[in-house]
Structure 1
Amino acid sequence: MALVDEYGGPLRQTIYENTYLTEPEEAARFRSHKVAALLKGLLKERLEGQVYDPVRGSQMTKQLADDIRERVKALGFDRHKLVVHVTVGERRWQTFSSCSRCLWDTATDGFASQSYQNESLFCSAQVFALYFE
């Protein structure tokens, strides 16, 4: 069965040519220090003075992750797949530990991590950038 557009005509399929680029250009390499600075500023801007609310917590986490992804994309790390992980929780003098493992190419992939806490909540945000050929 052929795919059709909203007017009933055949849907044109876009065919992409292989670029044969096995690593990013120097200007498009992932710069973790730039992303860490972005994370630090964004977390402070959004969470300063906030009080932890368990009902709004999941929505706040999703919104933070979406905003981080959009701002990192705007930095121009072309051809990188971005994975953003954000954790927000109530601060009750407990210990919070987080770890992650990835299989990647250390020459082209990277990550940045930042945390924030105030009297009521804590937040941990990580951005993983995987070069996509």
Structure 2
Amino acid sequence: MADDEEVVEEAEEVLGAAESETAVSPVEIEKTLDPPKYEVRPGLGEKFQAQNVRDIIESTMKEQLLERQYRADQAPRWAKTISNAVRQRVQDLNMKRYKILVQTTILEMKGAGVKCGQRCIWDPETDDYADDIFRNDSIFCYTIVYGVYMY
């Protein structure tokens, strides 16, 4: 019987503590939340700025390649430098929620033709691209920038 009395006393103490916590706790005030904002499309003036990007591509390629002759050992480094510079300058345009992808290809001019193709599945109302070509006596450079809107 002594064991039963101890169990009952412990249960009363636990219930008493729970009641005192709820009685002392502050009253919760209901806060009204703003309705969620789902941006499915870029706002007016926030779309991909293809002409500005094209100007950036052209100026960056000229800065990097204007007085150079093709060198197979240096071409990968030049391509990486151009891609990084273009990406950084395009990101400075502050096009909100756009993922920027840059691809640069440098080839030696030897009289052979080049055919390239691209296929993308995207939203034509929000996503876009800009590209440009640089040529001199020994270098052919093609850079393309994709702007994909992140929903």
| Pairwise same-fold verdict (TM > 0.5) | yes
Residue of 100, 105, 112 corresponding to 1:94: 112
Q: Distance in 2 between matches of 1:70 and 1:28?
A: 18
1:41 aligned onto 2:56: no
Query: Which position in structure 1 is the counterpart of 2:89?
Result: 71
Look up the SS of the partner of 2:101 in the other structure.
Answer: strand
Q: Are 1:107 and 2:135 counterparts?
A: no
Secondary structure of the 1:111 match is: strand
| 1:11-66: CA deviation from partner (whole Å, max 9, x where unpaired) | xxxxxxx7410011223210111111111111112110111111111111111111
Higher relative contact order (CA 8 A, sep 6+): 1
What is the CA–CA distance in structure 1 between the aligned matches of 2:74 and 2:68, rounded to whole Å? 11
Give the letter aligned to residue 71 of structure 1: R
3-state DSSP of counterpart to 2:45: helix
Deviations 1:84-126 (A, max 9, x none): 1100011111111211100010110000010001011110000
Which of 66, 69, 73 is the aligned partner of 1:51? 69
Give unpaired runs (5+ residues) of structure 2: 1-35
Number of equivalences? 116
Q: Deviating runs (4+, > 6 A) in structure 1?
A: none
Q: Which has the larger radius of gyration?
A: 2
TM-score (structure 2 length as normaliser): 0.73
Q: Which of the numbers 49, 55, 72 marks the counterpart of 1:31?
A: 49
Q: Distance in 2 between matches of 1:46 and 1:58?
A: 13
Task: Verify: 1:120 aligned to 2:138, yes or no.
Answer: yes
Structure with the higher fraction of residues in helix conformation: 2
Residue type at the aligned position of 1:33: Q
| Unpaired segments ≥5 residues, structure 1 | 1-17
Distance, in Å, in 2 between the alignment partners of 1:132 and 1:90 is: 36
- CA distance in 1 between counterparts of 2:88 and 2:110 reads 31
Instruction: Give, in whole Å, the separation in 2 of the partners of 1:49 and 1:96.
Output: 23
Identity of aligned residues (%): 27
